[in-house]
Amino acid sequence: MNVQFTKVVTPSAEIVDALNKWDNDPVLIPLTRPNQNREEMETRRETTVNELKTRLNSQDMFLIYLENKLVGEMNYMIDPGHLYRKVKGTAWLGITIGEPEGRGKGIGFKAIQYLEGEIKKKGLSRIELGVFEFNSQACRLYHQLGYQEIGRIPEFTYWNEKMWTDIRMEKHL
């Protein structure tokens, strides 16, 4: 299995098209973004190349390729306002395996390890993330990689006719 990671330096229409596809996929929406109700969950969003350029001013983004096919993206930002523990020099990370053929093959495991290496190169030693409580596959992945739960935010996101908790986790590199 050939998995590659590429840092996004110059946004392109191809990248934006993939991000828009994944951000509007009904299967992925409940897993990747918090929603306060059904209406918000059913809302579709469109990112532009210029919006992605702006986003890259505050975060580093990497594309995930499987056998030279774009299957996902991962990113991190430093010290965002939504950290559970406000520790200076903390990287907040996110990952989306957007294409079905990229899921369940250990790509997420490799991708997070790669991202941790990039974060360490930046001189950072703490990572924080959030995972919705119903996303048991992601919870298992983060535990396998050594992330520890540090708190819970109840009533954080809507899915399957109810509100769910956001589990916050951290790892020290």
- Tell me the mean pLDDT in the region 67-80: 98
Q: Are 130 and 139 in contact (CB under 8 A)?
A: no
How does the average pLDDT of the chain come out, rounded? 97
With 90 as the cut, is the pLDDT of residue 9 above it? yes
- The answer for residues whose C-beta is within 8 angstroms of residue 81's C-beta and 6 or more apart is none
- The answer for residues whose C-beta is within 8 angstroms of residue 43's C-beta and 6 or more apart is none
* pLDDT reported for residue 81: 96
**Rounded percentage of the chain residues whose pLDDT exceeds 90:** 99
Distance between CA atoms of residues 168 and 165, nearest Å: 10
Q: Which helix (H) or strand (E) holds 125?
A: none
DSSP E strands in the chain: the ranges are: 3-7, 60-66, 69-78, 90-97, 126-132, 148-159, 162-172
In total, the chain counts a number of residues equal to 173
* pLDDT reported for residue 31: 95
Q: Which two tokens stand for residue 156?
A: 């954080």
- Tell me the mean pLDDT in the region 49-59: 96
Residue pLDDT, tens place only, 161-173: 999 999 999 999 9
* pLDDT reported for residue 1: 86
Residue for token pair 């790509």: 107
Residue pLDDT, tens place only, 75-120: 999 999 999 999 999 999 999 999 999 999 999 999 999 999 999 9
